[in-house]
């Protein structure tokens, strides 16, 4: 049994599709359609189990009520939680989310953007990989609203909502310093990524402000597709040295790194915080039940997701009107647990 369409209802009632459309879209009073006919349309619609074809609506009206979300990896709890917040906010306004995991790969994200454009999404929320500047620039020239999250490109003028990464890393590093740690390391990802760079910059600045020279050997940069062995190598280089060359604390720039690193540290038989203090970005669940619960920099995921959707929906509502680009920087929350000692 095929789905009922507008004309099925119209035919049945001997009225025009126009009428049916008006009634079903709540424009009955606007067009002063008689209560009688109005009621009959509704009745038949219910009887036929009518439900509008959004694809047809989309073709006609030009908006599909779906938005495209491109993040690094939906399996990463950080992005999963962010996705959830975005979904929730979107649902409140009847929008659907198509998600795409880019794996921080600009070729993939380019292809995903193209695909989503073909699908006529009404807007994008993107966590752009490195080397995707051109894609974003092209997007900025186009008509489809979008907002960047988690990172952005300082040189591109467009909506974005990020977190004060510099400040967060600075705070975390100072915390470590205040507890007497001096050989503080940082394990991070490709520094071409603005957020990662800011984190490492904040870390370095805190050291300098404490008159400690930055030792580049203590900054380990991992590839995006890092696996346990990459992390293990970094940990070995950091901790497998003589006492006065060894790191006595580590700042992890992502929780994915942190989890792998802690697993590695434990397997080496080292104790946190006694042998090594540890602090990490992202308040992931794993850190709560860790050998030594991890002191973290928590990000306001709810606020990021909600704000991103709000900005997007606002632009979708008012196409053409060039509102000021929204550049939002949110504060993080520093949560002290036991992994830094006391």
> Interacting stretch for DNA, rule CB under 7 A, among 56-64, 75-83, 133-141, 174-182?
56-64
Shortest separation between residue 3's beta carbon and DNA, angstroms: 6
Q: Minimal distance in Å, beta carbon 52 to DNA?
A: 4
Q: Which does 81 bind (CB under 5 to 8 A by kind): a second copy, DNA, none?
A: a second copy
* Residues from 242 through 261 that contact DNA (CB under 7 A): none
| 3-state class (DSSP) for residue 198 | helix
Tokens of 204: 């370095």
Place of tokens 């606002």: 314
Among 4, 17, 24, 96, binds a second copy (CB under 8 A): 96
According to the binding rule CB under 8 A, does residue 132 interact with a second copy? no
- For residues 133-157, one letter each, b for 16 or more C-beta atoms within 10 angstroms of the residue's C-beta and e for the rest, the string is eebbeebeeeebbbbbbbbbbeebe
Q: Which of 25, 43, 55, 319 binds a second copy (CB under 8 A)?
A: 55
Task: Please pick, from the candidates 7, 16, 114, 333, the single residue that binds a second copy as defined by CB under 8 A.
Answer: 114
Cα–Cα distance measured from residue 264 to residue 282, given in angstroms and rounded to the nearest whole number: 19
Q: Cβ contacts of residue 228 below 8 Å, gap of 6+? A: 260, 263, 264
Q: Which does 18 bind (CB under 5 to 8 A by kind): a second copy, DNA, none?
A: DNA
The Cα–Cα gap between 220 and 196 comes to: 12
Could you tell which of a second copy, DNA, none binds residue 134, using a CB distance below 5 to 8 A set by kind? none
CA–CA dist 295, 282 (Å, integer): 10
SS3 assignment, position 332: coil
| Burial of 201: CB neighbours in 10 Å, binned 0-12, 13-18, 19+ | middle
Closest CB to DNA among residues 7, 111: 7
The CA R_g of the chain, rounded to the nearest whole Å, is 26
Q: Choose, by CB under 8 A, the member of 41, 101, 187, 235 that binds a second copy.
A: 101
What letter does residue 293 receive in the DSSP assignment? P
28, 45, 81, 160: residue in contact with a second copy (rule CB under 8 A)? 81
Site string for DNA, 167-206 (x = CB under 7 A): ----------------------------------------
Strand duo 160-163 + 123-126: pairing: unpaired
Q: Among 40, 57, 103, 246, which residue sits at the site for DNA (rule: CB under 7 A)? A: 57
Which residues partner with 96 through β-bridges?
Answer: 66
Half-sphere exposure of 186 (CA within 13 A, CB side): 28
Q: Is 114 in the site for DNA (CB under 7 A)?
A: no
Q: What are the tokens at 129?
A: 């990989």
Are the CB atoms for 188 and 220 separated by under 8 Å?
A: yes
The option from a second copy, DNA, none interacting with 96 (CB < 5 to 8 A, set by class) reads a second copy
The single residue among 52, 80, 106, 298 that binds DNA, judged by CB under 7 A, is: 52
Asked whether the beta carbons of 156 and 146 are under 8 A apart, the reply is: no
Binding to a second copy (CB under 8 A): which residues in 221-280?
Answer: 259, 262-263, 266
Residues 6+ apart with CB under 8 A from 26: none
Site string for DNA, 4-43 (x = CB under 7 A): -xxx------xxxxxx-xx-xx-----xxxx--x------
Task: Based on the shown chain and the rule CB under 7 A, indicate whether residue 49 belongs to the binding site for DNA.
Answer: no
Cβ atoms within 10 A of the Cβ of 39, count? 12
Binding residues for DNA (CB under 7 A): 2-3, 5-7, 14-19, 21-22, 24-25, 31-34, 37, 50, 52-53, 56-57, 59-61
Binding residues for a second copy (CB under 8 A): 51-56, 58-59, 64, 66, 73-77, 79-81, 83-84, 87-88, 91, 94, 96-101, 114-120, 259, 262-263, 266, 284-286, 288-291, 293
């Amino acid at each position: 049994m095929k789905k009922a369409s507008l004309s099925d209802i119209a035919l049945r009632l001997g009225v025009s599709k126009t009428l049916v459309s008006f009634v079903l879209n709540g424009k009955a009073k606007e067009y002063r359609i008689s209560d009688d006919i109005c009621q009959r349309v509704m009745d038949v619609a219910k009887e036929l189990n009518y439900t509008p074809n959004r694809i047809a609506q989309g073709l006609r009206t030009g908006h599909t009520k779906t938005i495209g979300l491109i993040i690094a990896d939906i399996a990463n709890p950080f992005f999963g939680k962010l996705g959830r917040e975005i979904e929730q906010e979107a649902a409140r306004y009847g929008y659907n989310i198509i998600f795409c995991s880019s794996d921080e790969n600009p070729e993939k994200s380019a292809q995903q953007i193209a695909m989503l454009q073909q699908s006529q999404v009404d807007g994008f929320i993107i966590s752009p990989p490195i080397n995707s500047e051109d894609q974003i620039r092209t997007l900025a020239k186009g008509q489809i609203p979008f907002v960047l999250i988690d990172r952005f490109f300082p040189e591109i003028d467009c909506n974005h909502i990020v977190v004060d990464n510099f400040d967060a890393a600075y705070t975390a590093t100072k915390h470590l310093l205040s507890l007497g740690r001096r050989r503080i390391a940082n394990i991070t990802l490709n520094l071409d990524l603005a957020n990662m760079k800011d984190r490492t910059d904040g870390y370095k600045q805190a050291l300098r402000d404490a008159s400690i020279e930055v030792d580049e050997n203590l900054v380990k940069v991992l590839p995006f597709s890092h696996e346990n062995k990459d992390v293990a190598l970094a940990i070995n280089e950091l901790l497998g040295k003589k006492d006065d060359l060894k790191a006595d604390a580590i700042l992890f720039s992502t929780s994915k790194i942190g989890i792998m690193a802690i697993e590695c540290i434990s397997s080496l038989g080292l104790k946190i915080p006694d042998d090594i203090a540890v602090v990490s970005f992202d308040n992931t669940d794993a850190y709560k039940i860790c050998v030594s619960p991890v002191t973290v920099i928590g990000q306001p995921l709810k606020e990021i997701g909600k704000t991103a959707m709000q900005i997007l929906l606002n632009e979708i509502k008012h196409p053409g009107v060039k509102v000021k680009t929204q550049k939002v920087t949110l504060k993080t929350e520093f949560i002290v647990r036991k992994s830094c000692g006391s």
